[in-house]
Structure 1
Amino acid sequence: MIPTSAQFPSLHHCRRLFLSNFEVNMNIGVHEFEKKGEQRVIVNVDLYVPLESNTPQTDDLAEVVDYDFMRQTIADIISAGHIHLQETLCDEIADRMLAHPLVFATRVSTEKPDVYPDCKSVGVEIFRFKSN
């Protein structure tokens, strides 16, 4: 579910940037067979940035949050090594997204599409605001 300003009035002044269905191969899982190789993981990230901080005046990339920030942050987390839980992965991505000075809130979800043959995927989602 994508949070809306109707559900969260504090998002009314924000622009939503998103990275949708970013597919990565990574070392994740608690079971021994999962520790022996990479698994496919689908990552979705929404960033909520106040319009006053993310409305370009001169059509310059330096005036907004760059999408590369989202992709590179995820790549950095994955390259650090094995992660046991999707919850840990989501929390780490959310923490790093919220560390960006312009980001007010974030929604992060991860899905493992190859776990069970009888469902599309299993996953985790988190939605958080920056703490003051």
Structure 2
Amino acid sequence: MSDTIFRPESARGLIPDHLQPTTYVLHVEDLMLMAAIGFHSHELDKRQRVLVNLDIELEKAVLPTNDDINADFWNYDYIHQTLSELVEKRRFNLQETLAQEIYDLIAARAHVRRIKVFVRKPDAYQDCQSVGVSLSNFPN
């Protein structure tokens, strides 16, 4: 057996069509933001932790074809910076509103096919892990 399979730089052209990727999904898990969120009296004068999870399916055509950082690709810094700025600049009464704002920011970008946004507050209650809301156009 050839050792070609063990050299990743040589394997790219050997992958059969049926094993080629059919989707390109970026994931962000538990991005912690300190948000002014909530409408209860104890929530109005402080920021609280919000965890954001994203699944962003992109058109396969934008999948990077090499390791060149000067090529056109989705930069996680955009997501991190944009969401950080979003919660710094305004107050949200509802998690649903924050989730919709995040959804809209991602959906407005080029090459996006599907999005799932899951926003949760881990410190809302002591007797549960978190409470949250998700928005998605992924099929069930």
Q: Which residue of 1 aligns with 2:124?
A: 115
Q: Per-residue deviation at 1:83?
A: 0.5
Equivalent residue for 2:77?
A: 68
Counterpart AA for 1:67: Y
- Structure 1 position 60, deviation (Å): 2.9
* Aligned counterpart, 2:94: 85
Give yes or no for the alignment of 1:104 onto 2:113.
yes
For residues 17-72 of structure 1, the C-alpha deviation after alignment (integer angstroms, 9 at most, x for no partner) is 01111111110001121111011111111111011122334633532111111111
Which 5+ residue runs of structure 2 have no aligned equivalent?
A: 1-20
TM-score between both structures, scaled by the size of structure 2: 0.77
**3-state SS of 1:24 partner:** strand
Residues matched between the structures, number: 118
Amino acid at match of 2:71: A
Q: Within 5 A, what are the aligned runs for 1:1-132?
A: 13-57=22-66, 59-128=68-137
What runs of 5+ residues in structure 1 fail to find an aligned partner? 1-11
Q: Which moved more, 1:56-65 or 1:82-91?
A: 56-65
Report if the CA contact (8 A) 1:94-1:128 is conserved: no
- Counterpart CA distance in 2 for 1:48 and 1:115 is 30
Measured against aligned partners, the alpha-carbon deviations of 1:64-83 in whole angstroms (never above 9, x if no partner) come to 11111111121121022110
Q: CA RMSD in A?
A: 1.7
The structure-2 alpha-carbon separation of the partners of 1:26 and 1:55, relative to structure 1 and needing over 3 Å to count, comes to same
TM-score (norm. length: structure 1): 0.81
Who wins on radius of gyration, i.e. which is larger? 2
Aligned to 2:7: none
Q: Provide the identity percentage.
A: 33
Paired residue secondary structure (2:24):
strand
